[in-house]
Amino acid sequence: MTEIPIAKPILDLNDRLAAANRALLDSHGVFMLDLIASPGAGKTTTILATIAALRDTYSVAVIEGDIASDVDARKIKEQGIPAVQINTGGICHLEARMISQALDALDLDSLDLIIVENVGNLVCPTDFYLGEDCKIVILSVPEGHDKPLKYPGVFQVAQAIILSKIDTMPVFDFDERQFRSDIEHINPHALIFPISATKDHGVKTWVRWLSEQIEQKRRMKAKTAHETE
Amino acid sequence: MTEIPIAKPILDLNDRLAAANRALLDSHGVFMLDLIASPGAGKTTTILATIAALRDTYSVAVIEGDIASDVDARKIKEQGIPAVQINTGGICHLEARMISQALDALDLDSLDLIIVENVGNLVCPTDFYLGEDCKIVILSVPEGHDKPLKYPGVFQVAQAIILSKIDTMPVFDFDERQFRSDIEHINPHALIFPISATKDHGVKTWVRWLSEQIEQKRRMKAKTAHETE
């Protein structure tokens, strides 16, 4: 196992940088979520639906992580939303140092929510803390209900799981009961939000929960500001 | 970029072990393919359809790479096909040393074809040569036609690309012309096999090509044996 002695110092350094990111976000009362999924699970579509539902109430920015291309960042910018593109140049996950640079490029004073779209990968982003308030995993119905069993790590660290493309249930052999039972076993505290972003099903419930998290973060900042006055 | 000096020796060592795997396979005239795809793209379903089409003509074994679980290996074994399960314990790709151990567990003299099902990941398996004769990528229609642009590395190293779940084209906004044009740009020599394994569309064309590769490998072994007599 040649990887172990190498990975440890990288992760230690990553955690220190992530803690600095988190402190910076806390001081500005900005909620940040790290969105993890396989390629094509519907990350960008979910982000666009979330922005559409929240933009009248909150100020949102997106950090786009990609191996290559700026396809997704352009889609976000077309909506008039600030987007920072990170091209990892082949690296299979985002790291705290990349997020640190992206935060420098955003006006944190004016923001309430930052959505980080991680590289499409259900494995590697699991171990990298970026300074986010929570990790959210998207699993799409076409991927199959057995994925929590086969990729348990990412489902263990997720605070919530979005089950996307639920409008395609009739086309695929997806056993929702088995999926929920496996999640209950792997991560009993995880929330599950079934949605179809294109058909506008379930988005409201997801956005309501997210709004509560944003409000909580704002209150935390207000409290800290009051105490230090 | 802390990764670079670390990754290089690991890849060097991997390549040496992979070359040894390849020499072993060549000496037995066994063709090995490394099947790479995102979670849920249809790797196991494609393997099962391939086995069904080839099993009367060739002797096949499967090496199953998974983060956790033996769900897929059990499905293969149920078909009476030898399957070796590799659980990577969190590692996001297979490496040559793992394949080396798996080959030890197989009776190479009796085999014509080994299908390696890599860990579900469209990024990390790209850089790891296992000793295979070719890498095949599966992209499923629900993942979207823009994936070659966003994950070019794996599409560059693939000798052929299986476009799976084509029966779901009417449900998803998949632009096949754009997909083919992007592949033509990224990897002009790549073959493209559109299939629906569950509806038995396109499987014959894919299997015909694969059979030619197996025959070529057999002839190569026969020629070498003849020359060394």
Q: What is the pLDDT of residue B1?
A: 36
pLDDT digits (tens, 9 = 90+) for B190-203: 999 999 998 999 99
Give the C-alpha separation, B171 to A44, whole Å. Answer: 18
- Residue contact B150–A67, C-beta within 8 A: yes
| Pairing assessment for the beta strands B60-66 and A191-194 based on DSSP bridges | unpaired
Contact B156, A90 (CB under 8 A): no
CA distance B146 to chain A (A): 9
pLDDT at residue A11 is higher than 80: no
Q: What is the pLDDT of residue A4?
A: 42
pLDDT at residue A227 is higher than 90: no
Closest CA to B63 of B123, B7, B131: B131
Q: What is the pLDDT of residue A1?
A: 36
Does any CB of chain B come closer than 8 Å to the CB of residue A82? no
- Residue contact A120–B38, C-beta within 8 A: yes
- Residue contact B92–A6, C-beta within 8 A: no
Beta bridge partners of A60: A113
pLDDT digits (tens, 9 = 90+) for B143-163: 999 999 999 999 999 999 999
Q: What is the pLDDT of residue A224?
A: 83
Q: What is the pLDDT of residue B7?
A: 57
Question: Could you tell me the pLDDT band of residue A81, with boundaries at 50, 70 and 90?
Answer: very high
- C-alpha to C-alpha distances, A118 to A20, A58, A62, nearest whole angstrom: 19, 22, 11
Q: Residues of chain A with pLDDT > 70: what percent?
A: 95
pLDDT digits (tens, 9 = 90+) for B46-88: 999 999 999 999 999 999 999 988 989 999 999 999 999 999 9
Instruction: For tokens 């070019």, name the residue.
Output: B152
Question: Could you tell me the pLDDT band of residue B42, with boundaries at 50, 70 and 90?
Answer: very high
Does any CB of chain A come closer than 8 Å to the CB of residue B149? yes
pTM for this entry: 0.91
Contacts of B226 (CB under 8 A, 6+ apart): none
φ and ψ of B29, to 5 deg:
65, 30
Residues 88-117 of B with CB under 8 A from A: 90-92
Lowest mean pLDDT among A33-42, A139-148, A205-214, B67-76: B67-76
Does any CB of chain A come closer than 8 Å to the CB of residue B210? no
Q: What is the pLDDT of residue A79?
A: 95
What ipTM describes this predicted complex? Answer: 0.87
Mean pLDDT of all residues belonging to chain B? 93
